[in-house]
Amino acid sequence: MLDDLYQLRERARAALARGDLDDATHSLVTAASQTHVAEHDYVSVLQPLAEVLWRRNDPRSALTVLWYLSASANDGWKRALAMLSTVPAVDRARTLAAASDLSGAAREMEAAGALAAAAIYREKAEDWQAARNLWSRLAHRLNGAEGAYSGALVQFNLARCAKKCGDAKQAREANVSAVRLVEEAADHFETVGQRERAFDCFQVLIQLGRESGMFEDVLEGFVNSIRILREDHLKYFALQYFEDALQAAKDRKELSAAATLAREAAEYARTLGMTRASAHYTLVQAALWGDVAKQHLSRGAAPEIAENALLAAILAFGEVGHYARVGHLYEDLAQMDLEQARRNHYARAAKRYVGVRDEIIDSEPLPSHLRQDNHFPDVWHVDLLEWEQQGSAAEACADVLLDRRWPDLIRRKAMLARLTAFAVESRPDDASDPATSARMRLADQLAQLQLYAVLSPLEKLFTSPSRQVKVAVLAAMQQLFFKRSFVTVRAGLREADPAVVDQAAKAVESLYFQHAFDPLARIVREAPEARVRAAALRALARVDTIEAAEFLLGVLEHGAPADRGAALEGLKRSRGARFVDLARSALQASSPEVRAALRDVLRARGVSVGAAA
């Protein structure tokens, strides 16, 4: 392939010699499409490409190439900065930001009307007053004109900046507005089946509570986040969020809430078969109830309230066999200022535990090897930038290209997609062959990035009236394993064009991943066409969770003949173990028809039917 790259570079040089800039550009862009080559070889193509694009009077494209080159060039951003007078304000802003001039970047974004981006640059420069003014202007602009989610994020950012500026009144008012709007947005997203967006709302609610000091908001955010994670079967994430919620409650001295969370974490870990983790959270719960009792007594509360807390601790310690501790707690109860009859009862109970030892139990929190990175992105910035960019592929790719945290391969692909996006976004959505081809190429290039950030540009591309473009977007969605991908896929399933529906069904069958269960199950329940339901059932057969297994067993038991056939076909080809376990346990209790189907699946999977029976 390097021979091709060198040949293309020489072809470009010859084209330049005869003044054919179009052929030179085509050859160099084709060479740059070989994104896997070593950096020094890749740079040897980009340097003449930037020059040719400049000579073609295409400064935005030339600057895009220089963005990639500048990060590693000896003169840094000198060449890029020299081009700023020839490009739009948004490009000037990005270049200045990359060159560490955040104030200049903010001024340029504000001049371009991109107030959210300008405010974020001001925040990064720690110019909180200027950032507050920008968020305030944006809040007035959005009042009643946009969705609740965007409005909530703007109010949240306004509250943060007002707090930094010492304006407690404005911070409080903005927080109240943000909480109302974010709860409204969460309800909407859950209603339309976009739980991942509702999850974002609850994360914002947690942060809102932390910023405002309102623990009720923190707790509501954590409880709902955990609920969504559990529904999406992300069990280890759910346990980590239980721990985060526990810590947040302890930090605020909300010990009753912490003890309740520990109890729920213990019950959830037990349902997962994680006995050591369950025992750990039970012990944490018991200790916390003891702390709750001490807290109430120190505050002069009625002793009956502390009594209830100690009884809860006794139940928890008894659950894990720590009977010596149970005895000590009964002794404490017998010494409290309670009715004499109850004190006598507790004294008698304490005597039953004299000399009893605590059982040795194996307990530990969630093991480190099961922990996953649950860092949550600052959606209060990221999602507002997406909203402000209005589905622009050029802007989304610029964000990736200029972010040095991404590997060079991803940044190269983002650069190429941005070059294509200029051709697409600079012209109306006409039906000409070149325009259609460019949109199809852009859909494919965006898919190659494999990033959540490309979903918004693809969603905008899908609004094209062209069948070919819609099909290309749905083909791109097949490679993007995010729950949000189903939003566009479901829109494709509702199209009148059979070719578009066919491609949407192919995308459905390709999008099998653990937390795809809910959108796939919705398609099975709601899709009127048997071929679409069949695609979703075959995908579900490859989702190896107990929920998917139980759903498919239900289809075999009660589904329409076509659905039963599709489920059976998918299960035979699947390699997951969950359905095999379920089939073994359900075999004898099933009807003759279902029993025959289960045996068929087990035989196809190499499981002895005799042993299963």
pLDDT value for 243: 93
pLDDT tens profile 546-581: 889 999 999 999 999 999 999 999 999 998 888 998
Nearest to 414 by CA among 458, 449, 455: 449
Instruction: Give a three-class secondary structure readout of 367-390.
Output: CHHHCCCCCCCCHHHHHHHHHHHC
Residues 265 and 350 in one domain: yes
What is the total count of domains within the chain? 4
| 137 falls within a domain | no
pLDDT value for 197: 87
Residues 265 and 366 in one domain: yes
CATH number of the domain residue 289 falls in: 1.25.40
Give the span between the Cα atoms of 345 and 267, in whole angstroms.
30
pLDDT tens profile 193-219: 788 889 989 999 999 999 888 999 999
Angle CA 383–389–391, to nearest 5: 95
Q: Is pLDDT above 50 for 249?
A: yes
| 51 falls within a domain | yes
pLDDT value for 74: 55
Q: Where are the alpha helices (DSSP H) in 143-167?
A: 148-164
Q: Is pLDDT above 90 for 295?
A: yes
The secondary element (H helix, E strand) that includes residue 106 is helix 102-111
First-last CA distance in the chain: 57
Where among 87, 112, 140 does a domain terminate? 87
pLDDT value for 533: 97
Per-residue pLDDT band at 612 (split at 50, 70, 90): very low
Beta partners for residue 358, in sequence order: 322
Residues 445 and 581 in one domain: no
pLDDT tens profile 49-107: 999 999 999 999 999 999 999 876 656 788 899 999 999 999 999 999 999 999 999 99
The residues, any chain, with a CB within 8 Å of residue 321's CB and separated by 6 or more, are 358, 359, 361
Q: Is pLDDT above 90 for 1?
A: no
Give the span between the Cα atoms of 575 and 572, in whole angstroms.
8
Q: Is pLDDT above 90 for 589?
A: no
Where among 363, 389, 415 does a domain terminate? 389
CA 19 to chain centre: 49
Nearest to 101 by CA among 124, 119, 79: 124
Helix axes 433-449, 455-462, angle to 10 degrees: 150
Which 8-state DSSP code applies to residue 590? S
Tell me the C-alpha to C-alpha distance, in Å, between residue 470 and each of 68, 379, 458, 495, 499: 31, 28, 9, 10, 9
pLDDT value for 375: 61
* Mean local confidence (pLDDT), 305-313: 95
- Which of these ranges, 121-125, 140-144, 599-603, has the smallest mean pLDDT? 140-144
The pTM score is 0.85
Task: Give Rg (Cα) of the chain.
Answer: 30
Which 8-state DSSP code applies to residue 37? S
> Exposed e or buried b for every residue in 24-33, given b needs 16+ CB within 10 A?
bbbbbbebbe
Residues 9 and 53 in one domain: yes
* Mean local confidence (pLDDT), 415-440: 88
Where among 39, 69, 87 does a domain terminate? 87
pLDDT value for 75: 60
Per-residue pLDDT band at 372 (split at 50, 70, 90): low
CA dihedral of 360, 241, 246, 333, whole degrees rounded to 10: -50
Residues 266 and 316 in one domain: yes
| 125 falls within a domain | no
pLDDT value for 611: 47
Residue located via tokens 């009643």:
144
Are 270 and 239 in contact, with CB atoms under 8 Å apart? no
Residues 368 and 276 in one domain: yes
Beta partners for residue 322, in sequence order: 358
Helix axes 255-271, 303-319, angle to 10 degrees: 20
Q: Is pLDDT above 90 for 42?
A: yes
Residue located via tokens 């002069």:
300
Domain that holds residue 380: 234-389
| 480 falls within a domain | yes
| 151 falls within a domain | no
Residues 503 and 530 in one domain: no
Give the span between the Cα atoms of 350 and 219, in whole angstroms.
36
pLDDT value for 183: 95
Q: Is pLDDT above 60 for 613?
A: no
Which 8-state DSSP code applies to residue 144? T
Residues 383 and 238 in one domain: yes
Give the span between the Cα atoms of 92 and 39, in whole angstroms.
26
| 572 falls within a domain | yes
Per-residue pLDDT band at 3 (split at 50, 70, 90): low
pLDDT value for 73: 63
Per-residue pLDDT band at 2 (split at 50, 70, 90): low
Residues 241 and 385 in one domain: yes
CATH number of the domain residue 413 falls in: 1.25.10.10
Residues 271 and 360 in one domain: yes
CA 420 to chain centre: 27
pLDDT value for 540: 96
Q: Is 481 exposed, middle or buried (0-12, 13-18, 19+ CB in 10 A)?
A: middle
Q: What is the mean pLDDT of the chain?
A: 92
| 56 falls within a domain | yes
pLDDT value for 606: 84
Residues 315 and 437 in one domain: no
| 569 falls within a domain | yes
Give the span between the Cα atoms of 159 and 162, in whole angstroms.
5
* Mean local confidence (pLDDT), 136-159: 87
Give me 526's structure tokens.
Answer: 């709601």
Give the span between the Cα atoms of 154 and 132, in whole angstroms.
10
- Which of these ranges, 386-395, 430-439, 515-524, 557-566, has the smallest mean pLDDT? 430-439
pLDDT value for 525: 93
